Structure 1
Amino acid sequence: MFCPLAAIFAANTLGGFTPTELAAQQRTIQAARAHEEITIDGHPDEAVWKRAELHDDFVMRSPELGGAPPSRTTLRVAYDDLALYVLVEANMDPDEVVLRTLRRDAFAIFSDDAVSVKIDPRRDLRTALIFSTNASGTQLEIMSLDDGRVNMPQWDAVWDVEVWRHDRGYTVEYRLPFAILGVDAEGDGDMGLNISRDHQAANATYDWRLILPPRRPTSASAFGVIEGIHGILAARALEITPYVAGYTDFSPSFTVDPRRRPNASVGGDLRAQVGKSSYVEASVLTDFAQVEADEVQVARDRFPLFFPERRPFFINGLDTFNFGRPGEAQLFFSRRIGLRDGRAIPVAAGVKAYGRSPKLVYGVLNVQTLRSIAEPPQDETEDPEVDIPAENFSVGRIAWRPTPRTSVGVLALGKHRFGDPDEAVFSGGADLDITAAGGKLRWYNFFAQTFDREPDEVVETTPTSTLTRRSRSKLGRTAASNFTYDGLYLRPAVDFTWSDTRFSAPLGFYRRPGTASHGARFFVAPRPRALGLQELLIGPFGRVVTSPDYTERLTADGGARFEARWRSSWLASYNLRAKDDRVDDAFELYGYTVDARRYQGTSHAFRVRSPSRFALGGELNYEYGQLFAGKMHQIRGRIVAKFNKHASLAGSYTHLVGHLGRPEANAFSFGFANGTLNLALNRNVAWDTSLRLNLDPSEPTMAVQSRFRWRYRRGSDIFLVYTTSQPVGTALPDATIEPFHAIAVKATYYFQARLGG
């Protein structure tokens, strides 16, 4: 009897390579010592490039996994006392080079002809620094944590790259200072390395060491090795970046008091290498005026939304403090510092020390905020803000790594208000992280406790007095275990997260504390050759959430996923989900009350995405299903238009329509949008304008952030930022939305020196 599924599996020949053979392709390259100065211009004129070992055995990752690239790519590596140098030549028809962006830090680079140098500086098989450029030399750097599971494009580093365009294609020459890589000045200099090339005319991606799906492109455990680096200068880098800034919200006042939003301010950042792979960073009167605004998200449930960290000071060394499941169950979440309900809290100073030895990883963070003095209301209708007291935050982390794939660590953190011990909170925990099977298998576990205080409780109120029960301390506990296997064909996962009813994660992020959550999936990923397909992803998933004592079932949902990827890079997917959910406490959603009771229903979700290489592309999503007692339709469209290398537009709009039980009484229909227009005069001058539109009736607003950035010298910038937020549409009667305008200007100056050596 004919079995279609068996036929699909039988079709997987992978160009004559088995998955085991592909995964076993270890790559090692010797770095050549440079005895002369290397000029970064894209031209391989220096003698060291003639002596350097040349590799041209790149392998196609997409569309033909393990196939031979149609165009040659060569790699050479060199070093001197202070930096690592990488030379990549990409051969192709020069008339076919695709170049559509000049804007720094833009992911649109990966839709151009581009090269990415990926470094695992300490070969910990977990952390990678990614340096990407397109055929014009536009730069993008990314810090990748947790073997590619967490990527931080907000990380900023000072490095150099230039491109030479010629009749064979283009050549890319990198200079990556050891100071930003954190490489030991003595001892074993081996580092993890991978090179990826995006070749748009062939709709292809090539790797120096092949990264097997579903491994992420930034998975450090899939890198090759650079050998031969030794005897580099034992000098330590000192980086200082002072700033001056001006600000106005057009109110008739002027202040330099940092406890308010000052109209004029000065401050700065410092980073010093104090030992082998050990660093200290400090920031005084930290300013985040240039940080990109968060995108609009609208909740469809009663649980908190997760917004990623974007502030530079908190990103460097973030891998050291990583603890828990990002976006789901984190004991430490850096956005708890200096932000409260969207309001920025002034940071007086922060200091961070982090580093590692062959077996240990360690880090300490301390931040002192200032008292945030509330601005007086503009008129009698505006609700007054309240002052927020100064607070001190401390975090400590140490992890022992007996092998490169095993880590045992502890984390401790706390918040304290001087003179107010009742506001002190503490958390601490231990974790175990084990990877195997070349990084495809991961088992992560943690246990933690938190010490917090319950708020004061009003027990009785009379016309003459109020009886209040003082806050009481509470000790909460949490534990988690997560097992995943990301194989080429099989991708099972099982996870468990538990926390008791007294757990609150005051300095972390927990989506659903006080529950026991159990999830599982089993996806199968055949790779047929029929119909132009590259990969299918098929399988069930499910989750059950109970009370922490397992006496009550709170939520149960499950379903199936079907996804198809074509060799042309088109993608389509369908998800079916059934859900049984108990709401314990009534809550407000879109201006209506969702009652406390049990709800059941199903949902269907469809998705289609075009290839990113198109000058005009996008994505379309549609979902239909139950929303508590009612029905919901959600449609989301995203479009990316790359007009030329100087201008591009990316935006999305999501519209929700439905009701929460009775169409005639509690219907809703609204949308929200996120969009950005990018203009780049050249690689150093850019202007981007972002739109954030939220038509949720509880807070209908339109916000615009327009940022001009001029990198006037290496590592030094001038920013001009205009921000406005305006009420739009019809708000609920109790909504308070005040119009807002502000302009900020900020200038930084980057200074680097070497200590010793």
Structure 2
Amino acid sequence: MFRNLFFIFFFALFSSILQAQVEARPSLAAGRFEREIRIDGLLDEEEWKNAPVLDSFLTTVPEEKGTPSARTLVRVLVDERAVVIGIQCFDPEPDKIVRFSKLRDTDISEEDHVKVVIDPFLDGQSGYILAVNANAARYDALVSNRGESENEDWDAIWEARTSINEEGWVAEIRLPIQSIYFDKSLNEWGFNVERRIQRNQETIRWANVQRDQFFGQTSRAGLLTNLPVFNYGIGANIRPSLVGAMNKVGEDGAAVVDMATSLDASQRLGANVLATLTVNTDFAETEVDTRQTNLTRFPLFFPEKRTFFLEGSDIFEFGFGTGNRTVLPFFSRRIGLFGSSQVPIMFGGKINGRIGNTAFGGLGIRTNSFEDDGTSYDATTMGVMRVRQNVFKESTVGMITSFGDPSGREGSFMSGLDFTYQTTRFNGNKNFIAGAWALYTDREDLSDDRSAFGFKVDYPNDKWDLSLTYARIGEFFDPSLGFVPRKGIHSLRIGSIYAPRPEWPLVRQMFYQFFLTYIKGIGEEWQSYSVFTAPINWQMESGDRIEMNVRPAGENILVPFEIADNVIIPEGKYNFMRYRMEIEFAPKRRLSGQATWWFGSFYDGTLDELELELNWNPTSLLGFEFNGLRNIGRLPFGDFDQTLIGTRIRFNVTSDLQLNSYVQYDTDSRILGINARIHWIFSPLGDVFLVFNHNTFNDITDRWTLQNEQILLKVRYNFRL
């Protein structure tokens, strides 16, 4: 089997190199401006009238390379300090433009919006994504996994305004050159524009107009030419923050008022290298985690939300085929968070950037001493370093290493190597990716097998998406700064998606899915298997979706575990059959959502999992979100009922001023949590957060008891030099 896999890999490598030709990339020349351009969404300055115009767009859906239903005009203006993009979106029925959101970084993919990707290194493997809807809600992301996905948690300083008129809508974007890294020797960048006309379920692009290719694949983007020698000034950013907090613990606890300051400062060491320092780091503005239920014997995964760790996080991505299902060698939530405690970060430093075809990043953090569940832990130092070299046209080879342990255990380190081969020109114009990785870790409490390795082969295209992923995780592979849900296993996953587009009046695309997962203990028998199938998964022309799934699964329990309060699954081999029915209503409507029902056998009993998500946007000023989950288990070892509900209210005054409140309650913890935030961006360089947190516990007598209450006010401003 492995011999055949290596043959396929090297055949793909050889054939794609032979087929890769120097392709003509469409280009747009940037115009120049000398006086300040007012960002108001009007494009009424004289410079806009004289700038070169881009209007050659084609559809990717519903028809590949079809004629758009409405015109789109794009102009770009530059000076030595900024890039300004103006996009005119003509629409014969502007009253039907789908626009609900105003919140920063909200999901605007199902609304009318424009999206821009730039590649200021021309390496075809990295880039920045900026998107704006017709309400001026801003979304930004880093190109991730060489364009196959986006890291939407990344944030930058930039401006956007929009206007709506009788001809459609207009977006105006200003990106300061200090907000990104770039190759100063270049006078042209990779550049592409995409527009979504939601009510028509229509997507149009300028370059890379192929369904098989992802918008973020900058190797297929056009070119933005006539760029100046950019000047980022001294390159210093100094962002102090002032935080005032009132904390109360327990009903009888006293309210304690604290004032604290923190500082983030950065200095460019060239146009494409940034050094960052953080002191007394504070994450008061970070949103609370959304609670999850766990019906497995493995830990839950929660994503990183803290800005300091997200900056340059694309560089720290490691190993094609790794992830929260197998292993994340560096999981930044291990730093500053321990169990139920937030660990004070005294200071830290980071350096990341690109030199030529080499991307690199280094991070070091010193945390203070802390207590968790009555145990005291000493202050400790932790860090990670990553180097990645671009090879061939779209491929990489790299290494990663980390040191330190959150609880202070001695001798902790981890190192690894990875290689990823990628081409967007396999067999002419298809995607093909193959990669391998290997890791080794050590610590004073580890012995025997401390290694992990794996590979993945992927053919991710519009009609066919085929993949094979394998990982071997040693029994004592436990990186202190990583995330490893299962140890001592062989993991195999085979995936297949066949997605035809029938010429039916109601159905746009069908997705026939098959995913086989098989996990075996090292030197032992099988531990888990799952066969996920989707005989029906139809995307309708209206944007609605219906899906039915059949999933045979099995678990070989070697050690009893508690699946719910006082319900323990004993040792044994269990085989069960799960079914799912799901319906999704298109988000283009003011009322949309998704309903899911998993049912069938489960550990010699039955389990029903009911999940409901609703979104109601009565106006662009006000939005409501509801999510509810209900697990009903009837097992020979005991019955359980779990309920988790959450409600979010968004009051969007403008795209720079929002009030959001989130209330969640679950019957496992019996804690009612309230989180309310006012976020005011009073300047592109400064903002204010007012945060209220309130948690109460419902005991067995149905008495509500205050656990903790907190009011936070945080003000920060970025001084750029």
- Whether the TM-score (by the shorter chain) exceeds 0.5 is yes
Tell me if structure 2 keeps the 8 A contact 1:494–1:520: yes
Amino acid at match of 2:614: I
Aligned residues of 1:330 and 1:508 also touching (Cα < 8 A) = yes
Residues 1:282 and 2:294 are matched in the alignment: no
User: Structure 1 regions of 5+ residues with no counterpart?
Assistant: 1-19, 256-261, 375-383, 455-471
| Structure 1 residue 286, shift from structure 2 partner | 0.7
Whether 1:448 aligns to 2:420 is: no
Tell me: CA distance 1:211–1:607, structure 2 relative to 1, closer, same or farther (3 Å): farther
The answer on whether the counterparts of 1:533 and 1:567 sit within 8 Å (CA) in structure 2 is: yes
Determine whether 1:204 maps to 2:179: no
Partner of residue 102, structure 1: 102
Counterpart of 1:651 in structure 2 is 626
Match of 1:432 among 419, 422, 425: 419
Residues 188 and 25 (structure 1 numbering): CA distance in 2 closer, same or farther, change over 3 Å? closer
1:294 aligns with 2:289: yes
Q: Alignment partner of 2:315: what SS?
A: helix
1:32, 1:79 within 8 Å by CA — same for their partners in 2?
A: yes
Residue from 312, 320, 323 that aligns with 1:317: 312
CA separation of 1:357 and 1:337: change in aligned 2, threshold 3 A:
same
Listed one character per residue, the Cα deviations across residues 616-660 of structure 1 (whole Å, up to 9, x for unaligned) are 000011111232232101111110001111110112101111223
Give CA-to-partner distance per residue, 1:61-120, whole Å, 9 cap, x none. 33334321111111122211011121111111333333323333322x344432222223
Please state how far the C-alpha of 1:148 moved relative to its aligned partner.
4.3
CA contact (8 A) 1:430 1:446 kept: yes
- Does the 8 Å CA contact 2:413/2:479 hold for their aligned counterparts? no
Contact 1:571 1:608 in 2 (8 A): yes
Q: After the TM superposition, which residues 345-356 of structure 1 pair with which residues of structure 2 at under 5 Å, given as runs?
A: 345-356=343-354
CA contact (8 A) 2:248 2:708 kept: no
Which of 678, 691, 695 is equivalent to 1:721? 691
Q: Which residue of 2 aligns with 1:516?
A: 490
Query: Relative to structure 1, is the Cα distance of residues 86 and 203 closer, same or farther in structure 2, using a 3 angstrom cutoff?
Result: same
2:463 match: 489
Aligned to 2:375: 386
1:538-687 → structure 2 map (5 Å cutoff): 538-549=512-523, 551-562=524-535, 563-591=537-565, 592-661=567-636, 666-687=638-659
Kept in 1: contact 2:695–2:708 (CA 8 A): yes
Distance in 2, Cα, partners of 1:362 & 1:737: 49
Per the TM alignment, residue 179 of structure 1 is displaced from its structure 2 partner at its CA by 1.5
Aligned AA (2:181): G
Q: Any idea what the Cα deviations from partners look like across 1:12-36, whole Å, max 9, x if unmatched?
A: xxxxxxxx9xxx9953322233344
Aligned partners of 2:125 and 2:219 also within 8 Å: yes
Cα shift at 1:42 = 2.7
The structure-2 alpha-carbon separation of the partners of 1:579 and 1:137, relative to structure 1 and needing over 3 Å to count, comes to closer
Contact 1:85 1:176 in 2 (8 A): yes
Hey, what's the Cα distance between the residues in 2 that align with 1:613 and 1:706? Answer: 27
Name the stretch that deviates more: 290-299 or 572-581. 572-581
5+ residue gaps, structure 2, are: 1-18
For 1:204-243, what aligned pairs fall within 5 Å after superposition? 204-210=202-208, 212-213=210-211, 215-233=213-231, 235-243=233-241
- Give the 3 Å change call, closer, same or farther, for CA 667–137 of structure 1 in structure 2: same
Q: Equivalent residue of 1:81, what SS?
A: coil
| 601-610 or 57-66, which deviates more | 57-66
CA distance in structure 1 between the aligned counterparts of 2:517 and 2:406, rounded to whole angstroms: 40
- Aligned residue runs from structure 1 range 84-103, under 5 A: 84-92=83-91, 93-103=93-103
Structure 2: how far apart are the matches of 1:410 and 1:209?
33
Quote how far apart the aligned CAs of 1:452 are: 2.0
The verdict on how the C-alpha distance between 1:525 and 1:426 changes in structure 2, with shifts beyond 3 A counting, is same
Alpha-carbon contact 1:389-1:417 (below 8 Å) kept: no
8 Å CA contact 2:78–2:228 kept in 1: the answer is no
1:503 is aligned to: 477
Local SS of the residue matching 2:153: coil
Question: Alignment partner of 1:249: what SS?
Answer: strand
Q: Measure, in 2, the Cα distance between the counterparts of 1:731 and 1:57.
A: 68
Output one character per residue of 1:518-571: Cα deviation in whole Å (capped at 9) or x when no partner.
11122211111114221111142212211224x422222224223111121111
Contact 1:59 1:210 (C-alpha < 8 Å) held by counterparts = no
The CA distance in 2 between the partners of 1:27 and 1:447, in whole Å, is: 40
Farther off after superposition, 625-634 or 292-301: 625-634
Q: Which residue of 2 aligns with 1:741?
A: 709
Letter aligned with residue 361 of structure 2: G
The 3 A distance-change label for structure 1 pair 278 and 137 is: same
Task: State the distance in 2 between where 1:57 and 1:330 align.
Answer: 42
**Aligned partner of residue 424 in structure 1, secondary structure:** coil
Q: How much has 1:54 moved relative to structure 2?
A: 1.5
Residues 491 and 112 of structure 1: CA distance in aligned 2, closer, same or farther (over 3 Å): closer
Paired amino acid for 2:627 = S
SS in 1 for 2:74: strand
Secondary structure of 2:617's aligned partner: strand
Q: How far does residue 270 in structure 1 lie from its aligned partner after superposition?
A: 1.4
CA drift of 1:479 comes to 0.2
| Aligned-partner SS, 1:307 | coil
Aligned residues of 1:363 and 1:397 also touching (Cα < 8 A): yes
Which segment is superposed worse, 603-612 or 25-34?
25-34
Q: When the two structures are superposed, what TM-score results if normalisation uses the length of structure 1? A: 0.86
Inter-partner Cα distance in structure 2 for 1:322 and 1:661: 44
TM-score, normalising length: structure 2: 0.90
Q: How far apart are residue 154 of structure 1 and its match?
A: 3.0
Are 2:81 and 2:232, in contact at CA under 8 Å, matched by a contact in 1? no
- Secondary structure of residue in 1 paired with 2:48: helix
Q: Is the 8 A contact 1:453 1:474 kept in 2?
A: no
Displacement after TM superposition at 1:321 (Å): 1.0
Supply the AA of the counterpart residue of 2:267: A
- The one-letter amino acid paired with 2:432 is L
Aligned identity (percent) is: 22
Q: Distance in 2 between matches of 1:90 and 1:614?
A: 21
Greater Cα shift, 344-353 or 125-134: 125-134
Q: Which residue of 2 aligns with 1:54?
A: 53
Structure 1 residues 207 and 341: alpha-carbon distance in aligned structure 2, compared to 1, 3 A threshold: same
Amino acid at match of 1:745: L
**Residue 165 in structure 1 maps to residue 152 in structure 2:** no
In structure 2, the CA distance between the partners of 1:691 and 1:581, relative to structure 1 (3 Å rule), is: same
Match of 1:644, SS state, is coil
3-state SS of paired residue (1:387): strand
Contact 2:405–2:480 (Cα < 8 Å) also in 1: no
Return closer, same or farther for 1:547/1:25 CA change in 2, 3 Å cut-off: farther
Contact 1:695–1:729 (8 Å) recurs in 2: no
Counterpart of 1:307? 302
Shift of 1:247: 1.4
Matched, 1:327 2:324: yes
For residues 367-391 of structure 1, give each alpha carbon's deviation from its aligned partner in whole angstroms, at most 9, with x where no partner exists. 11011256xxxxxxxxx63323211
What is the alpha-carbon root mean square deviation over aligned residues? 2.5
Mean Cα deviation higher: 604-613 or 222-231: 222-231
Return the alpha-carbon distance in structure 2 between the equivalents of residues 166 and 344 of structure 1: 49
**Which residue number in structure 2 is paired with residue 4 of structure 1?**
none
Shift of 1:725: 1.7
Counterpart amino acid of residue 264 in structure 2:
D
Pick which of 480-489 and 399-408 moved more: 399-408
Aligned partners of 2:306 and 2:441: how far apart in 1?
26
CA contact (8 A) 1:194 1:207 kept: yes
How many Å separate the matches in 2 of 1:737 and 1:149? 47
The one-letter code sitting in structure 1 at the alignment partner of 2:104 is R
